[in-house]
Structure 1
């Protein structure tokens, strides 16, 4: 909604010093979204005057038509002599009144007017068009031709109201009243604490039986319809300059007097109106639902096929308008035209004015169904004041009589479906409790009355909602009105005080620890949409019976290419990695934590939950049973260099070991002991894939995989060579680590380090050897670390050497060499028994 400040001042006596920026700040504080304040006339300076064209000489020796004109500007040029001006426009004639920019004037865009010789003549000024003055679209093209009664020499900047400020307000769906000058003026008056001159307070005659006949077949779709008739209109009458300028400033194009008046009243009061040419109506006006397949041509010339849910305006022939959206071409106001034989001016002389109130939902659905959004539908679908219909019709009649010389007929048609005002009961301290501020009953009542409510009661308030606020339904809506008018900026910043013993859950703490650990290891978090398509699962090379192909398909997906919920985190992460590589980033390490969706086939069909009360635990359980299994997972992907080359060294690329190490980092944060074994699992490389296990409830459980992706998957996905990935289930890790996390213990006793090198068969996993050493060493073992792997002729073909560093420490004493050696020997003995390991060199 564009609100000219000069127009707003008609309804609120703002201080003369208040600028558009000041009003913007006040309205924003009151909760309206004032996006910009446009300065009209910025960069425009005079002299700019009204002139009368005295002579026109056509200059024909040039490629394009040029006219040399003399224009009377009275004493504006200081001499009283006609002003000589060269002009290329052709839409004016001798005797027309035009706008003249005299030498010294500056037009928008820093276009300076000066005397200069052009086309062989001296031009001393410029005859202006609307675009050149920054007036916007005036419905015509070319020079501004003013009404003949305008006096020559008049200051055109004042006449055309070229200097103004326009507030551009983004009206949210719940504040439809702000799509009118009346609504914005009410908010402005409240914000400044000033009285409002309500333009809807008009003397409206009582309805009678003499008005134009109207029949309402659908009182739910149309609960109010007012019809007034004006006859004897002058078809030559044109919209006055002040009305045309206000429409232009508000973003609307002037068309004709009758249409301009209906648009002007709509902007003023917020009530959409429609004017019918009475001579083109046949029979009474009706309101009904359309017949399926019924055809109708709207004012824009488009022939439309109607739906059975469309609300239409009819006469005896059929539809003449889409109710609340757009009128029909068969009853539109005719443009005036002159008969070439008789010279008689013909046009619309009798008008039937419609001011109705329609069901917002019906209008919104019709506008969307036909892709036909109009100024009227925008207002109806947000809620129009039904009580304003009669006043809007009266205002339209008054302007037609005043500006078009018409006569209002005595008949007044008004059909109203009975309805009671809406009331809300609210505790007087309810806004206090919502905001955490002690407003007090007096402030609450005053603010609600400023909104337009009638308030009764003491501790329990009975609030009657005004007709122009259909968005107020419950006590919280009223509390919001009090809070916004008192100022959101005045609400104190306070943190809620949780009950003692409350805080983050174990699940939340683990989620944060995992994120911090991976970020500390150089990974960057990438949050992705949880949607996948069949194509990416094919690129992964998943088998037809792979559980990851069993997906939950959305009824209304954002993209038809990704209609299902993800069953793995890798598609989104790998897509983010590919996108970053395409933008020039080659050394990448990304991670994500989130839910995946694994349907079990045992989901039930949920019932409809009630809205008038909180659902019971049983109802919530039925709803949860309808959901697929949603395990929480963590995944990482790597490509490019893991360590950069520089003066400190040669660097190295990321490989499968880095993906496994990211899994170890996550497991450490969960307090779980991770076991790594070689495996084959799509989409990982069969020789560089590790299965990850932890102990859950005493049983070894698979929690994920890590390693290098398969070359075929890398090629299909467009990824860099040697891309690596890891994915694990966090919920299982949390269960495996329950009770395992302890505060770090700092011992005052020294550590005893023993190194062992064991020779085993090449196919023996290092993890099995490490597990045996850990169990054999007993309670004195503090940590174990594999620091070297060697294969060569010295140890024989098909064998490898694994070197481990064992750290022993006792909590209560310094270990002797004999104790440390005995623990080491026990560890080696168990490793030899389980894996066939022997000490190297033994």
Structure 2
């Protein structure tokens, strides 16, 4: 919302300077986004008239002009293309210093003396137009100071409006807030009905029900469409960021800025029969004012006559029924459209209009008649014409109602933590245009029809405090006893897990929770995916069911930018559709590729492999004390390599996967090197075990090494579990220090060299004890795994 400060001060003058006005507006929730000063530094700039205009004798693109400024005629050399005899334009006299930094001095241009400068609007800091001289009205008083003539200085103030305050998209609505903030009186434009001097009317039919519960139309005959918009109207539009177009259009825009009610004018001679408000038919087309055709569907509301659609309601008028300089009879419309039927319609057509911006947020249903009378009075005052009676079609049962809302004195004090005097509460709410009725415990408030945001008691409390001043609310510490929440010792903090991975050379990534369904299908992870009802795009259509698709995409993005060694991790939530709705699960995932060690003259140059990322995962499990309880079992998943991946099992429960991506998946993802990854359930990973103290054995350890021949398919996790079960508590350590496959062994077998660390807490183990434990382990391996001692 952009407006002229001078225009606002005509409606309500708060008696403070611009800085204070902007500060109070911002503190009241109407954030001032920008202030553009207009008309500073115009001392010495006057209204001039060109009385002679001849070609420069030594330059094709320059003219020598004689310009009168009242008591004096100046010779000025000018290169503007629109310099001509009789034109009135701003003249900067010698000694003036323009806002753009130009100091006006006597000069000679191509041998001809020049005693001033004819100016464009941009050179004066009034507008961005630099195409030629700023053309003033023919009745502009020659010799008058330009600043005085244009009501300068001024400022163009822009507010960043929140969607719940559409009432402030018109200056009268904003004026109510300013009046309440500063206790200043309002001076709103007269709302008296325009005199009706004609009889012409046009029927109106409402066929869209609640979509348009009120529509007003008026025929005005015999206007002069060639009449020029007066300077005051043009300047107010320009300072509000709107380009003047023609008188009729300028008036509708002016009323929209002043009252907040968008309007439209049709050429009445191009309408056939009654005006009808209805839904569009499928495939119906309308050529809009900008000349572009729009193909509609039943979701659009249109203004039509008995022959065709004329305009898209609440968005833009039609080209065929537009007002031109040939128009003599117009049909003004002013209506109330329900916000839901306008929301998103302009965006669907790839546009955004001032009308749709207001209607989709909500416009006061009582404004259409006020706006119609205001526009009629302005038009007949400037362009003449004979206005006919207003034709109104209304569906009262569908008009928005503003029921009374109760405000309790005790509740107001409790929420704000302070007492606001009753007189101040009544002043604030009354100044905002609300009807205030005192009750035993507070007030009964009826909001005005323009305030769609006042529905519950808290809305009224917000109105009181924002006008009274948020800065006046006392700061006080909460009372009561606070309970300290200590994290359980059995849970490893998320920050500790992240810091551990960072210490091992990983970088944390944050990927989108929304992904394309095709991504998940490529990973075979689309089962149970939660689809979004209103996705931003097809690439963000479903919630992720796993972290690895997004994380591998981030890795690929880095590889494509010459990052040869990539190590990324992410801790976030994934989503699955459950019987009672979406379920959220927290996961931790990591991906690696490239060298195992950073490049240096001493580092190993080998590429990362399965055991590197497995070691990283085991180090995380060690933080929670579960390193000894984890098992890695064979994995059969379409997204992981069948021979270089494993399921991660803790206490008999699978908590995730680790390994290399399947070659087919890597090829589909355009990855030309091996990528290793793991993804585990975060809660299972973070669930730690409390450490317990135990006395160290005073007796020596005994080590026995054995070599066992096993089937090649037997995993180490199985061997480890069998040996531990067979020996029991006396086994304090178990290591595999060699593996052999080759000559001397049968096909499909391998030899593992295993070290058994034995110790007792109560006595020294003898050789017989050690031999017994070794025999128990070998017997268990023969029985459970089909193994044998290597000869």
TM-score of the superposed pair, with normalisation by structure 2 = 0.83
Residues 22-49 of structure 1: CA distance to partner in whole angstroms, max 9, x if unpaired? Answer: 333322221223322223356x554322
Asked if 2 retains the 8 angstrom alpha-carbon contact of 1:656 and 1:688, the reply is yes
Change beyond 3 A, Cα 1:67–1:313: same
Q: How does 1:588-737 map to 2 (within 5 A)?
A: 588-596=566-574, 625=579, 627=581, 632-644=586-598, 654-668=608-622, 672=626, 673-677=629-633, 679=635, 681-695=637-651, 700-710=652-662, 713-719=665-671, 721-730=673-682
Residue 243 (structure 1) shift: 1.6
Change beyond 3 A, Cα 1:242–1:178: same
Residues 680-720 of structure 1: CA distance to partner in whole angstroms, max 9, x if unpaired? Answer: 6544444432332222xxxx343332233455544543447
Asked if 1 retains the 8 angstrom alpha-carbon contact of 2:723 and 2:780, the reply is no
Partner of 2:67: 71
The 10-residue stretch of structure 1 (206-215 or 363-372) with the greater mean CA deviation from structure 2: 206-215
- Please point out which of 528, 550, 555 is paired with 2:511: 528
Q: How does 1:49-68 map to 2 (within 5 A)?
A: 49-59=46-56, 62=59, 64-68=60-64
Partner of 2:778: 832
The 10-residue stretch of structure 1 (496-505 or 314-323) with the greater mean CA deviation from structure 2: 496-505
The 10-residue stretch of structure 1 (470-479 or 201-210) with the greater mean CA deviation from structure 2: 201-210
The 10-residue stretch of structure 1 (120-129 or 555-564) with the greater mean CA deviation from structure 2: 555-564
Residue 251 (structure 1) shift: 0.8
Change beyond 3 A, Cα 1:378–1:598: closer
- Please point out which of 744, 763, 771 is paired with 2:721: 771
- Please point out which of 357, 366, 376 is paired with 2:336: 357
Residue 454 (structure 1) shift: 2.3
- Please point out which of 344, 360, 373 is paired with 1:394: 373
Q: In the aligned structure 2, how far is the partner of 1:776 from the partner of 1:495?
A: 62
Q: In the aligned structure 2, how far is the partner of 1:259 from the partner of 1:118?
A: 42
Asked if 1 retains the 8 angstrom alpha-carbon contact of 2:181 and 2:468, the reply is no
- Please point out which of 48, 52, 57 is paired with 2:45: 48
Residue 760, structure 1, aligned to residue 708, structure 2? yes
Q: How does 1:182-197 map to 2 (within 5 A)?
A: 182-197=172-187
Residue 458, structure 1, aligned to residue 440, structure 2? yes
Q: In the aligned structure 1, how far is the partner of 2:566 from the partner of 2:93?
A: 66
Residue 653 (structure 1) shift: 5.4
Asked if 1 retains the 8 angstrom alpha-carbon contact of 2:198 and 2:387, the reply is no
Asked if 1 retains the 8 angstrom alpha-carbon contact of 2:489 and 2:690, the reply is no
Asked if 1 retains the 8 angstrom alpha-carbon contact of 2:566 and 2:592, the reply is yes
Asked if 2 retains the 8 angstrom alpha-carbon contact of 1:787 and 1:804, the reply is no
Residue 466 (structure 1) shift: 1.2
Partner of 1:378: 357
Q: In the aligned structure 2, how far is the partner of 1:468 from the partner of 1:827?
A: 89
Asked if 1 retains the 8 angstrom alpha-carbon contact of 2:639 and 2:662, the reply is yes
Residue 254, structure 1, aligned to residue 208, structure 2? no
Partner of 2:140: 150
Matched residue SS, 1:10: helix
TM-score of the superposed pair, with normalisation by structure 1 = 0.79
Q: In the aligned structure 1, how far is the partner of 2:789 from the partner of 2:656?
A: 34
Change beyond 3 A, Cα 1:799–1:186: same
Partner of 1:469: 451
Residue 269 (structure 1) shift: 0.8
Q: In the aligned structure 2, how far is the partner of 1:535 from the partner of 1:366?
A: 30
Count of residues paired in the alignment: 775
The 10-residue stretch of structure 1 (625-634 or 658-667) with the greater mean CA deviation from structure 2: 625-634
The 10-residue stretch of structure 1 (269-278 or 438-447) with the greater mean CA deviation from structure 2: 438-447
Change beyond 3 A, Cα 1:481–1:582: farther
Matched residue SS, 2:163: coil
Unaligned 5+ runs, structure 2: none
Give the root-mean-square deviation of aligned CA atoms. 4.5
Residue 799, structure 1, aligned to residue 751, structure 2? yes
Q: How does 1:483-522 map to 2 (within 5 A)?
A: 483-487=465-469, 490=473, 514-515=497-498, 517-519=500-502, 521-522=504-505
Residues 516-551 of structure 1: CA distance to partner in whole angstroms, max 9, x if unpaired? Answer: 5544544333232345557656866xxxxx676775
Asked if 1 retains the 8 angstrom alpha-carbon contact of 2:709 and 2:790, the reply is no
Q: In the aligned structure 1, how far is the partner of 2:474 from the partner of 2:612?
A: 50
Residues 777-815 of structure 1: CA distance to partner in whole angstroms, max 9, x if unpaired? Answer: 64576x646484476999999534344667x696xxxx6
The 10-residue stretch of structure 1 (160-169 or 435-444) with the greater mean CA deviation from structure 2: 435-444
Asked if 1 retains the 8 angstrom alpha-carbon contact of 2:639 and 2:661, the reply is yes
Asked if 2 retains the 8 angstrom alpha-carbon contact of 1:633 and 1:730, the reply is yes
Q: In the aligned structure 1, how far is the partner of 2:311 from the partner of 2:180?
A: 38
Asked if 2 retains the 8 angstrom alpha-carbon contact of 1:711 and 1:721, the reply is no
Partner of 1:31: 29
Residue 97 (structure 1) shift: 1.3
Matched residue SS, 2:655: strand
Q: In the aligned structure 2, how far is the partner of 1:505 from the partner of 1:430?
A: 41
Asked if 2 retains the 8 angstrom alpha-carbon contact of 1:424 and 1:475, the reply is no
Asked if 1 retains the 8 angstrom alpha-carbon contact of 2:739 and 2:751, the reply is no
Q: In the aligned structure 2, how far is the partner of 1:753 from the partner of 1:583?
A: 54
Matched residue SS, 2:172: helix
Asked if 2 retains the 8 angstrom alpha-carbon contact of 1:57 and 1:68, the reply is yes
Residue 287 (structure 1) shift: 3.7
Asked if 2 retains the 8 angstrom alpha-carbon contact of 1:642 and 1:654, the reply is yes
Q: In the aligned structure 1, how far is the partner of 2:428 from the partner of 2:766?
A: 81
Residue 580, structure 1, aligned to residue 580, structure 2? no
Residue 631 (structure 1) shift: 5.2
Residue 263, structure 1, aligned to residue 260, structure 2? no
Residue 295 (structure 1) shift: 4.9
Asked if 2 retains the 8 angstrom alpha-carbon contact of 1:117 and 1:123, the reply is yes
Asked if 1 retains the 8 angstrom alpha-carbon contact of 2:201 and 2:389, the reply is yes
Residues 91-111 of structure 1: CA distance to partner in whole angstroms, max 9, x if unpaired? Answer: 242122111233444445444
Partner of 2:114: 123
Partner of 1:7: 7
Matched residue SS, 1:37: strand
Residue 220 (structure 1) shift: 3.1
Change beyond 3 A, Cα 1:270–1:597: closer
Asked if 1 retains the 8 angstrom alpha-carbon contact of 2:641 and 2:663, the reply is yes
Change beyond 3 A, Cα 1:74–1:215: closer
- Please point out which of 669, 689, 696 is paired with 1:741: 689
Matched residue SS, 1:8: helix
Q: In the aligned structure 2, how far is the partner of 1:231 from the partner of 1:792?
A: 104
Q: In the aligned structure 2, how far is the partner of 1:360 from the partner of 1:792?
A: 76
Change beyond 3 A, Cα 1:130–1:455: same
Change beyond 3 A, Cα 1:426–1:831: farther
Asked if 2 retains the 8 angstrom alpha-carbon contact of 1:790 and 1:802, the reply is no
Matched residue SS, 1:186: helix
Change beyond 3 A, Cα 1:595–1:100: same
